[in-house]
A = this chain, B = another copy of it.
Amino acid sequence: MDVIAHAEDDFIHSEGLVKGSMTLIESERAVTLYRAMGSAVEMSGGSAANTMCGIASFGGRAAYIGKVADDELGAVFAHDLRAVGVTFRPGLPEGEMRTGRCLILVSPDAQRTMNTYLGMSSWLHPGDLDTDTIADAHVTYLEGYLFDRPEAKDAFRVAARTAHDAGRMVSLTLSDSFCVERHRDDFLGLVEDDVDVLFGNADELRALYRVTSFDAAIEQVRRHCHLAAITNGKEGSVIVTREEVIPIPAEPVGRVVDTTGAGDLYAAGFLHGLTSGRSLKQCGRLGSIAAAEVISHVGPRPLVELHRLVDF
């Protein structure tokens, strides 16, 4: 669940936060930061869950595997997935963890600073996987944020194997450059062995390959990965295959209000295009359209039916 409040730059500095970043926080820090924050709005969020909602909003079929606690926020999260037509396959709640939440501070310049208490979500393990759902899906999409605890890494590998054994594709989003730096070797192994379609932004890709230039990172991923779609903020995105590098412009946006969910919705558009037989260029444009919609308002999920925005 996302807990979203507006915050001035002063508050972000005084709390020792880096504007635009994502920081993992523990339960105690979640309490003190929440206490210091202004009045907030609660909305369902979560990177891969946002992506699945985007796919459903395009008219695609999507399912989500993840863990929430048996608490009110967990019930809200489940409701909001099902209400937009995403099949929710929750793992079993366990222990005393609460439903994960992300305290998001939106600055006047529309940047978001995220403070994530993963809570129950980080306890994903292979036993939580619904392998029938995975074998049924064109693409299984893995969220880098959760690639942290050993059991979750195992779950990623089991999910990838299940998908490949069924002749399906595996996709990964790098999620965050700090995640990538903390687990670089594991991420590199996962990309090399298991990933068919890689998502990430320019920072994350540079962190993965330890290079400073975007072009050098693109060259690396070309040799490493079958297909990658890398976003680069206002510049748009590039789609990278062994044969070509396709630049995709960003869609124009009236006013950028809150950038939360931009990468998640880009992936939604791209994956929906990929699984409905679109060209790579069209996949990229669907990604740009979905990202443009979600940054034009507060909240990480679309407020309109995305299929209505597609005019090609």
Question: Which positions in A face B, CB cutoff 8 Å?
Answer: 5-6, 34-35, 37-44, 53, 71-73, 76, 79-80, 83-84, 299, 301, 303
Question: Cβ of A5: which chain B residues have Cβ within 8 Å of it?
Answer: 83
Question: Cβ of A34: which chain B residues have Cβ within 8 Å of it?
Answer: 79
Q: How far is the CA of A84 from the CA of B53 in the complex (A)?
A: 32
**Distance between A264 CB and nearest chain B CB, rounded to angstroms:** 15
Q: Say yes or no: B44 contacts A83, CB within 8 Å.
A: no
Chain A contact residues, majority secondary structure: mixed
**Distance between A9 CB and nearest chain B CB, rounded to angstroms:** 17
Q: How far is the CA of A38 from the CA of B34 in the complex (A)?
A: 27
Q: Closest 7 CB pairs between A and B?
A: A42-B42, A72-B72, A39-B80, A39-B83, A38-B83, A41-B43, A39-B84
Contact (A41, B79) CB under 8 Å given A72-B71, A72-B72, A73-B72:
no
Question: Cβ of A301: which chain B residues have Cβ within 8 Å of it?
Answer: 39
Question: Cβ of A53: which chain B residues have Cβ within 8 Å of it?
Answer: 39
**Distance between A281 CB and nearest chain B CB, rounded to angstroms:** 31
List 23 A-B residue pairs with CB atoms under 8 Å apart, sorted by A's residue number: A6-B303, A34-B79, A35-B79, A38-B83, A38-B84, A39-B44, A39-B53, A39-B79, A39-B80, A39-B83, A39-B84, A40-B76, A40-B79, A40-B80, A40-B83, A41-B41, A41-B42, A41-B299, A42-B42, A42-B43, A42-B76, A71-B72, A72-B73
